[in-house]
Structure 1
């Protein structure tokens, strides 16, 4: 199987699992599991394709939706076996982010030939599904967690783009990008890596406005 296609399916499946886990934490019914799994699994890729003006990937190939549905059903019947579901959600999200950063960059580069666009589409593909999942499920947004998140996606997308431009085979570029993105995000989860936060005076509340 083409490595980019493999990353595509892997990213969809893993992100769908995080959506289903979020549904389990909210004790939703099977329809809620199917909805959150699908929205999370295909959300980032949908935004990417719309921005690139490309055919939406799951419309062209409905197998992606079936993957989301299958994962949702699997998690519906097995989530109770996992004690710390939010921790698992974060680590699965890190895997999905890493896969989608490489795959999103590959699609952006193939569609436009622009390294800048490739990095942006890699970042969007890798992060939007998780952001959408947290918004729909009412979970604390991964985007607003203190440890590094978007930077991990940017790292993976940039590594893939640079490796591809350097002439590395697609599989090697994708594997290197996945490994580096997961190293950054995994390190952030394990060791709490962060950037310095904004420390200046906070903005005024509406009641304080003159």
Structure 2
């Protein structure tokens, strides 16, 4: 790959990541609105939802400095997404389905970028899947706990973390087969988003871990 091709790929992947993190920030504000938090609390929740997964991943990989500390564009996108969403909510209500759709978009993009980061760190394949899933779901876990959504979405029987893990496996397979990085990222992200939206549309659930207590 030429230098220009590598630079173009890097730009595309960064734009995708900004979209995913921005979507998580929006989902954080929507969750804060549902929990009747004030605007400052909504912005905090937006940042935690957007940065929680990637920060946890980088800490596990012992990557320093953390990826967002010097990325003013990323922080601006999160803040801007949060503020615009807060302003919008002053005039209109957002349906729950919109929250789930935005959340699915963030899950798809952030999970696959997490898989890419783990592959670049040369960890073993199982660790790639685990780190990618952690990247995808940790922000939502923090968001739901702070917004009082208990138990959190990903700890219920809904197909959520399963979508993230599936996307990570597909990205890893495509990367192993030598597919271009951008194509692998987009393909896996579309798969995660599609699986999550199908689960929402048709109400697909995983079986519970055991019999319900009487």
TM-score for the superposition, normalised by structure 2: 0.88
Contact 1:163 1:173 (8 Å CA) reproduced:
yes
Hey, what does 1:206 align to over in structure 2? none
- Cα distance in structure 1, aligned partners of 2:126 and 2:199: 25
Structure 1 unpaired stretches of 5+: 204-210
Contact 1:109 1:117 (8 Å CA) reproduced:
no
Hey, what does 1:6 align to over in structure 2? 15
Change (3 A) 1:81 1:152: farther
Hey, what does 1:164 align to over in structure 2? 175
Structure 2 unpaired stretches of 5+: 1-7
Contact 2:157 2:207 (8 Å CA) reproduced:
no
Indicate the RMSD between aligned Cα atoms, in angstroms. 1.8
Contact 1:21 1:85 (8 Å CA) reproduced:
no
1:201, distance to aligned residue in structure 2 (A): 6.6
Which range moved further: 80-89 or 167-176? 80-89
Contact 1:101 1:157 (8 Å CA) reproduced:
yes
- Cα distance in structure 2, aligned partners of 1:48 and 1:198: 27
1:105 aligns with 2:115: yes
The secondary structure found in structure 1 opposite 2:186 is helix
Superposition pairs of residues 5-24 of structure 1, within 5 angstroms? 5-24=14-33
Contact 1:101 1:122 (8 Å CA) reproduced:
yes
Change (3 A) 1:31 1:83: closer
Hey, what does 1:95 align to over in structure 2? 105
1:72 aligns with 2:82: yes
Hey, what does 1:179 align to over in structure 2? 190
Contact 1:25 1:85 (8 Å CA) reproduced:
no
- Cα distance in structure 2, aligned partners of 1:64 and 1:189: 29
TM-score for the superposition, normalised by structure 1: 0.89
Which range moved further: 137-146 or 159-168? 137-146
- Deviation by residue 1:108-136 (Cα, 9 ceiling, x = unmatched): 00012422222111101100001110001
Between the two proteins, the alignment pairs up a number of residues equal to: 203
- Cα distance in structure 2, aligned partners of 1:94 and 1:155: 14
